Amino acid sequence: MIKAILIFNNHGKPRLIRFYEYFAEDVQQQIIRETFRLVSKRDNNVCNFLEGGSLIGGSDYKLIYRHYATLYFVFCVDSSESELGILDLIQVGCLHIDSVFVETLDKCFENVCELDLIFHMDKVHFILQEVVMGGMVLETNMNEIVGQVELQNRMEKSEGGFSAAPTRAVSAVKNMILPEMPRNINIGDINIKVPSLSPF
């Protein structure tokens, strides 16, 4: 099972953190620092597997990672996961250096960069959830993932997105057709006189 997915830059700044097992926030921060320390000091020409750090389970856990440009993509898995299967999830084929996740991000953002992870965090999390949920790999077919992302984008555009919600609400109120403006409201013993209101 995948225990955590960590993405951080060359300076150790986290860009996406997803833990599938509970750790207190201070322990999560220590895990991120220790993982960065373990992964960043390795040469590019060495194996992409290493034992997990002491905080995340030691030899019972493996860190499987890939370094792309300015970002490290690290999957922390337990001993029941196939290291090659996870590397295959990260690295598609021997000749490609893109992962299913990275390649999907690349297609969705047209040349993904670190800033896309920062400014489009909601979309990045959506893509990640299409690939992995609850620590289990759901989908590895990039075309399926991209199709779901495009469907989500179309739904957001048809709804006008979150930013258009106030405008839609005002428009709905303006377009309400009331038979006539009530003059007095009687609720039991309470009588409320409604003042004259100007139209919108």
CATH number, domain containing residue 19:
3.30.450.60
Q: Are 142 and 149 in contact (CB under 8 A)?
A: no
Residue 168 included in any domain = no
Of 5-19, 49-63, 131-145, the least confident: 49-63
Distance between CA atoms of 197 and 200, rounded to whole angstroms?
9
| Rounded Cα–Cα distance for residues 67 and 52 (Å) | 17
In whole angstroms, give the CA distance from residue 4 to residue 76.
5
Question: 3-state class of 32 per DSSP?
Answer: helix
Amino acid in the structure at residue 182:
P
Residue 180 lies in a domain: no
Whose structure tokens read 């007095």? 184
Asked whether 184 and 193 are in contact (CB, 8 A), the reply is yes
174 within a domain of the structure (yes/no): no
| 146-160 pLDDT per residue, tens | 888 888 888 888 876
Rounded Cα gap, residues 182 and 200, in angstroms: 16
Residue 11 confidence (pLDDT): 92
Q: Is the dihedral of CA 94, 101, 31, 82 positive or negative?
A: negative
Tokens standing for residue 126: 């959506």
Asked if residue 197 is part of any domain, the answer here is: no
193 found inside a domain? no
Q: Is the residue at 69 inside a domain?
A: yes
Distance in angstroms (rounded) separating the CA atoms of residues 160 and 10:
37
The pLDDT tens digits of the residues spanning 45-64 come to: 888 888 776 666 666 788 88
Q: What is the mean pLDDT of residues 118-128?
A: 86
Provide the domain limits for residue 37. 2-160
* Count of the separate structural domains present in the chain: 1
Is the confidence at residue 182, as pLDDT, over 70? Answer: no
Residue 172 forms part of a structural domain: no
Structural domain includes residue 165: no
